[in-house]
Structure 1
Amino acid sequence: MVSVRATRLPFFVYGTLRTGEVNHDLFLRGRTRAEEPARLIDAVLYDGPGYPYVVEARGGVVRGEIVTALPEAYGELLAALDRLEEYVPGDPRNLYERVEREVIRDADGTAVRAWVYVAAPSVAARLRDRGELIESGDWSAG
């Protein structure tokens, strides 16, 4: 059995939750202990309707931030981010899936396990077929 503490991973954010973006202050202000530049390896970024999608793909790199929640705010933040991403565990209608992945801190190159919201399989297939790839892997760079 997995303990609750073991699942308290930081979050890797790459779109509207990044510092300076529209949802950062709405969801993260007062709930985080640290926010650090980081990158997700073997993933690419696609433009969406006002927000991006991560799609797993060998050789790609997505730029974002590792967000570490305050311990006392973790449960509330996890629930708020799941609602924002319209993620319900096991729901086939999800646009995103919350998955555990390794991300790399830019400051020191260390690997960290984090929650990442990636495009659900049906969305990822559609994006691969006809989506607009963000070549830089950095949604904030425009």
Structure 2
Amino acid sequence: MPEAFSRHVFVYGTLRRGGRNDINRLRPAPEYVGMGEVQGVLYHFDWYPGLTLGGEEAVTVVGEVYRITPELEAVLDRIEQIVPGADSEYFKREVDVNVEARVISCLLYEINAARIRGRQAMGHGDWILFHTS
């Protein structure tokens, strides 16, 4: 029997439905909750995005919210290359996400600020629209 769902995750890039790392293809399967929004800035890195939260250039970044198990969280950590210390590609954050007229506390993978130096913001907050256009 799979572990019980323990938290929510907000996915905004390749983990979104139809993305290269679609969370719905991972196991144990997540449970879709709804579309969500946070304020931040998206950056383009080759075939994937990075998000920084807040800031003067912040826009509404859209994504999907899922309930996940600790086992699936470990899979996501590997995909997002979470390692101890300052060299991690992403850092795990717990943030409030607006999900269809309610607020849900979610895990979010925020890009390491050192990785965005010299990169230009995408200018909008929907990776799927950017990536498919």
Displacement of 1:100: 0.4
Q: How many angstroms apart in 2 are the aligned matches of 1:64 and 1:141?
A: 11
Match of 1:135 in 2: 123
Match of 2:12 in 1: 14
Q: How many angstroms apart in 1 are the aligned matches of 2:34 and 2:53?
A: 22
TM-score normalised by L of structure 2:
0.83
Deviating above 2 A after TM superposition, structure 1's stretches of 4 or more consecutive aligned residues are: 25-28, 57-60
Over the aligned positions, Cα root-mean-square deviation in angstroms equals 1.8
Change beyond 3 A, Cα 1:85–1:26? same
Identity over aligned residues, as a percent? 27
Match of 2:94 in 1: 100
Q: How many angstroms apart in 1 are the aligned matches of 2:88 and 2:42?
A: 18
Query: Is the CA contact 1:15–1:140 (under 8 Å) kept in the aligned structure 2?
Result: yes
Structure 1, unaligned runs of 5 or more: none
Q: How many angstroms apart in 2 are the aligned matches of 1:103 and 1:54?
A: 14
- Aligned letter for 1:81? L
Structure 2, unaligned runs of 5 or more: none
Deviations 1:21-73 (A, max 9, x none): 12114426x511224111112x111111210000122342211111112xxxx
Please list, as runs of the form range in 1=range in 2, the aligned pairs for 1:1-142 lying within 5 A after superposition: 8-24=6-22, 25-27=24-26, 31-41=29-39, 43-58=40-55, 59-69=58-68, 74-88=69-83, 90-105=84-99, 107=100, 109-124=101-116, 126=117, 130-142=118-130
More helix as a share of residues: 1
- Aligned letter for 1:33? E
